[in-house]
Amino acid sequence: SQQGEEDPQALSIQEGENATMNCSYKTSINNLQWYRQNSGRGLVHLILIRSNEREKHSGRLRVTLDTSKKSSSLLITASRAADTASYFCATDGASGSARQLTFGSGTQLTVLP
Amino acid sequence: EPEVTQTPSHQVTQMGQEVILRCVPISNHLYFYWYRQILGQKVEFLVSFYNNEISEKSEIFDDQFSVERPDGSNFTLKIRSTKLEDSAMYFCASRPRTGSRDQPQHFGDGTRLSIL
């Protein structure tokens, strides 16, 4: 089974518009995290939402989590050209202390100036 | 802000050769990870390391792979005899051990490994 599938795979919007990306997962989780990756670069942590939380905000980012549907969404408001990147959800579902992440396949966001 | 640093940024190696990828995790972090991302694919977990030993590993992490923390700062991934399919971006990550169980992992910029 595949954990952490995002949709859409690609999203192209105009600057100033909102961008919404969705993530679905299959197993129970401790938390869900969203990361951003600029082309050829590393993963930058954006936001973490715990399994007992339903919504979280950080600046222009809003994340929701529905554990009954095993899904999450990331909303970027008032997008900028600099938001162009790939966005990945990652689930922390390990029962042990290592807490490795399982990543989705990502959404490629393009914000047009 | 402290960062995870990885060297080299790009490594080109002949098939069958050994390669060592290096990482310096954030200094007060206690959990260390290696992930890889084959071009166009998902980021995949390889191995986690805590208290000087492997805590978990994926099926990708076979006998050709090993990790080591040779001193108080470096964390290395060795591939003993590289194959073409080892070509990927390799990411190191670290995480603190705090009272909260929910701490994000901090990633380096990765090493792009190209096997010829």
A6 and A19 Cβ atoms separated by less than 8 Å: no
Is the confidence at residue A96, as pLDDT, over 70? no
Adjacent-strand bridge partners of A103: A90
The tokens for A91 are: 């689930």
List all residues of chain B from 33 to 72 with a beta carbon under 8 Å from chain A.
33, 35, 41-45, 48, 50, 55-56
- Mean pLDDT, chain B, as a whole number? 92
Which of the four pLDDT bands, split at 50, 70 and 90, describes residue B80?
A: very high
Contact B44, B36 (CB under 8 A): yes
pLDDT digits (tens, 9 = 90+) for A17-69: 999 999 999 888 989 999 999 987 889 999 999 999 999 999 999 999 999 99
pLDDT value, residue A54: 97
Asked whether the predicted pLDDT for residue B86 surpasses 90, the reply is yes
Asked if A35's CB is within 8 angstroms of B107's CB, the reply is yes
Residue identified by tokens 């006998």 is: B63
Q: Taking CB atoms and an 8 Å limit, are B109 and A42 in contact across chains?
A: yes
Cβ-defined contact of A45 to B107 (cutoff 8 Å): yes
Domain tally for chain B?
1
Q: B103: phi > 0 → left, psi -120 to 50 → alpha, else beta; which? A: beta
Integer Cα distance of B104 and B83 in angstroms: 32
CATH number of the CATH domain containing B56: 2.60.40.10
Å between B49 CA and nearest CA of chain A? 8
pLDDT of residue A1: 33
Q: Which residue has the tokens 């959800």?
A: A89
Who has greater pLDDT, A1 or B12? Answer: B12
Query: Which of A93, A99, A8 minimizes the C-alpha distance to B35?
Result: A99
Q: Which of B31, B35, B44 sits opposite A98 (nearest CB)?
A: B31
Contact list in A for residue B108 (CB cut-off 8 A) is 42
Asked if A99 and B50 come within 8 Å (Cβ–Cβ), the reply is no
Residue A2 pLDDT level (bands cut at 50, 70, 90) = very low
Pairwise CA distance, residues B72 & B84, whole Å? 32
Q: How far is B20 from chain A (nearest CA, A)?
A: 19
Alpha-carbon distance of A34 to A103, in angstroms, equals: 9
Q: Cα-atom radius of gyration of chain B, to the nearest Å?
A: 14
Sign of torsion over alpha carbons B28, B34, B37, B42: negative
Q: Per-residue pLDDT tens for B9-38? A: 999 999 999 999 999 999 889 899 999 999
A22 at interface of B, judged by CB pairs closer than 8 A: no
| Per-residue pLDDT band at B101 (split at 50, 70, 90) | low
Contact assignment for B102 to A42 by CB distance below 8 Å: no
Whole-number Å distance between alpha carbons of A88 and B16: 33
pLDDT > 90: what percent of chain A?
74
- Residue A92 contacts by C-beta under 8 Å, 6 or more apart in sequence? A29, A30, A31, A32, A33, A99, A100, A101, B102
Q: Which domains does chain A have, with CATH numbers?
A: 5-112 (2.60.40.10)
Contact B102 A50 (CB under 8 A): yes
End-to-end CA distance of chain A: 38
* Residue-range definition of the domain harbouring residue B71: 5-97+106-115
Whether residue A30 and residue B56 make contact (CB cut-off 8 A), yes or no, is: no
